[in-house]
Structure 1
Amino acid sequence: MELHGSTALVTGANRGIGRHFAIELIDRGAKVYATARRPELVDVPGAIVLKLDITDEASVRAAADAAEDVNVLINNAASTVGGNLVTGDLSSIRATMDSSYYGTLHMIRAFAPVLAANGGGAILNVLSAVAWTTIDGNTAYGAAKSAEWGLTNGVRLELAAQGTLVSALVPGVTATETMREYAQEAGIQIRDGALNEPVDLVRLALDGLEAGDIEILDRFGLEAKATLAGPPQAFDLNRALR
């Protein structure tokens, strides 16, 4: 997938990895729609800013109507507030599944015809290594990302005929604002090199997309996928950070 000269839409572009996706795509010569539920928070020079709530079908449809030239869809936005499945707040668990699974599905269903009309293009879904492990304290997030992995594999099969590349980025812990806030609240001193730098992860992802890779894994993702050959394992976040 050639990104120079492409037109990309990035969800959750107001902060973290999503913002870095929008910036890097512009640097690579793409036209970029940078979207967020609160568009006033998007600060990406050169981007076209759109309001978008991926859990609201009307909002998704409006974005698809406004961005009819898109040929690269970056599904990055997701809620991480789920908590544990047995003891967590059920509304938070639903919100996590609603964003990672149904929100991503809303986007793909709305933009699949747009991508087809523009030559096929590509979809990149941002997953997590906990899709293949899970993590105590937020097993709901792991379950939602597991579901999104299944979704990604399914739509890849369905959209192959229209020439759409469907790829998954499966990263581990990354130095986002959310992760640093968690470490500070938990009193964890993060060791040097423990986290992915967002810009490095985004470059890895876009390099993989340009190469036509269907799964793009960082070191955490590689380790997590290797565990699938044996008994299920949990990801020890504290050990990874310290």
Structure 2
Amino acid sequence: MEIEGSVALVTGANRGIGRAFTRALLARGAAKVYAGVRRPEDFEESGLEALRLDVTDPEQIAAAARAATDATIVINNAGIQAGPGLLEGSLEGARQELEVNYLGTWAVSRAFAPVLAANGGGALVNMLSVASWRANNRFPGYAASKAAQWSLTNALRVGLREQGTLVVGVHVGYVDTDATAGVDAPKVEAAEVAARTMEAISGDEPEVLVDETTRRVRAALSGPLELLYPTV
């Protein structure tokens, strides 16, 4: 679909990948970009229309859908990593990850599916991860939430086909944001994630594999378990 002249909503738009998405949309000629943020009063980014949007709050989601009835692109970017290790720590963080990453994406998608349909179909983009396909014993709750989000993305792709909505899943490894500041591993720039996603929207592509790690893991899904987990 055409990004130029479109109206987009990005959740979790206040920093990192979310902010990169908003800037990429404006650079591609989007007519309006709604920035879904928890505290609009603290948000400063020129060219954007801030909306109060906590993706775990049904009332705020409903209000955002009423406010952004002109949206033709919705990007579910809001996400957290808060869970414990595999064998210790409170499970409350893992519950929060599921609430935000999985159920939050589901709730926003439900609310905006009719909006997209009314505006000709448009595009729904879910920010996923290589963790959707490969578990991590350091962050098992996060990986599980992303696996659930990937499954949801596939369900949305099937369920929204008849209304003409393009559903895009974006997968990437570590991205260079403040959330990964303590991670000693190769990282992708947030701007690259956004640029590749814009290309997918413009080219009607349903899946984005941003980096080589993600492409390698995606290919390994059809092989033996040892390809994903060499130490097993």
Task: Say whether the fold is shared (TM-score over 0.5).
Answer: yes
Out of 184, 207, 212, the residue aligned to residue 215 of structure 1 is: 207
1:116-173: CA deviation from partner (whole Å, max 9, x where unpaired) = 0000000000000011011221111000000000000001101000000001000111
Match of 1:63 in 2: 64
* More displaced 10-residue stretch of structure 1: 213-222 or 45-54: 213-222
* More displaced 10-residue stretch of structure 1: 201-210 or 37-46: 37-46
**Partner AA of 1:210 in structure 2:** S
Out of 206, 211, 225, the residue aligned to residue 231 of structure 1 is: 225
Q: Aligned pair 1:206/2:198, yes or no?
A: yes
Match of 2:148 in 1: 147
Any gaps of 5 or more consecutive residues in structure 1?
Answer: 237-242
Residues 9 and 116 (structure 1), Cα distance of their counterparts in 2 relative to 1, 3 Å cut: same
Residues 107 and 85 (structure 1), Cα distance of their counterparts in 2 relative to 1, 3 Å cut: farther
Count of matched residue pairs? 227
2 CA distance for matches of 1:91 and 1:102?
15
State whether residues 23 and 44 of structure 1, in contact with CA within 8 Å, keep that contact through their aligned partners in structure 2: no
Normalised by the length of structure 1, the TM-score is 0.90
State whether residues 6 and 71 of structure 1, in contact with CA within 8 Å, keep that contact through their aligned partners in structure 2: yes
Any gaps of 5 or more consecutive residues in structure 2?
Answer: none
2 CA distance for matches of 1:110 and 1:4?
24
State whether residues 85 and 93 of structure 1, in contact with CA within 8 Å, keep that contact through their aligned partners in structure 2: no
Q: Aligned pair 1:29/2:23, yes or no?
A: no
State whether residues 135 and 235 of structure 1, in contact with CA within 8 Å, keep that contact through their aligned partners in structure 2: no
Normalised by the length of structure 2, the TM-score is 0.93
- How many Å apart are 1:85 and its aligned residue? 4.5
* More displaced 10-residue stretch of structure 1: 116-125 or 212-221: 212-221
State whether residues 14 and 39 of structure 1, in contact with CA within 8 Å, keep that contact through their aligned partners in structure 2: no
State whether residues 34 and 44 of structure 1, in contact with CA within 8 Å, keep that contact through their aligned partners in structure 2: no
State whether residues 70 and 118 of structure 1, in contact with CA within 8 Å, keep that contact through their aligned partners in structure 2: yes
Q: Percent identity?
A: 41
Give the SS at the match of 2:25. Answer: helix
Query: C-alpha root-mean-square deviation of aligned residues, in Å?
Result: 1.6
2 CA distance for matches of 1:56 and 1:4?
31
1 CA distance for matches of 2:94 and 2:230?
19
* More displaced 10-residue stretch of structure 1: 214-223 or 86-95: 86-95
2 CA distance for matches of 1:235 and 1:94?
29
Match of 1:239 in 2: none
- How many Å apart are 1:35 and its aligned residue? 1.1
Give the SS at the match of 2:79. Answer: coil
- How many Å apart are 1:36 and its aligned residue? 0.9
1:50-90: CA deviation from partner (whole Å, max 9, x where unpaired) = 11000111110000001000010000001111223543321
1:38-60: CA deviation from partner (whole Å, max 9, x where unpaired) = 22343321000111000111110
**Partner AA of 2:74 in structure 1:** L
Match of 1:124 in 2: 125
**Which consecutive segments of 4 or more residues in structure 1 shift more than 6 A?**
none
Match of 1:171 in 2: 172
2 CA distance for matches of 1:225 and 1:6?
31
- How many Å apart are 1:111 and its aligned residue? 0.2
Match of 1:3 in 2: 3
- How many Å apart are 1:24 and its aligned residue? 1.0
Match of 2:13 in 1: 13
* More displaced 10-residue stretch of structure 1: 71-80 or 222-231: 222-231
- How many Å apart are 1:195 and its aligned residue? 1.1
Q: Aligned pair 1:47/2:40, yes or no?
A: no
Q: Aligned pair 1:161/2:153, yes or no?
A: no
State whether residues 55 and 108 of structure 2, in contact with CA within 8 Å, keep that contact through their aligned partners in structure 1: yes
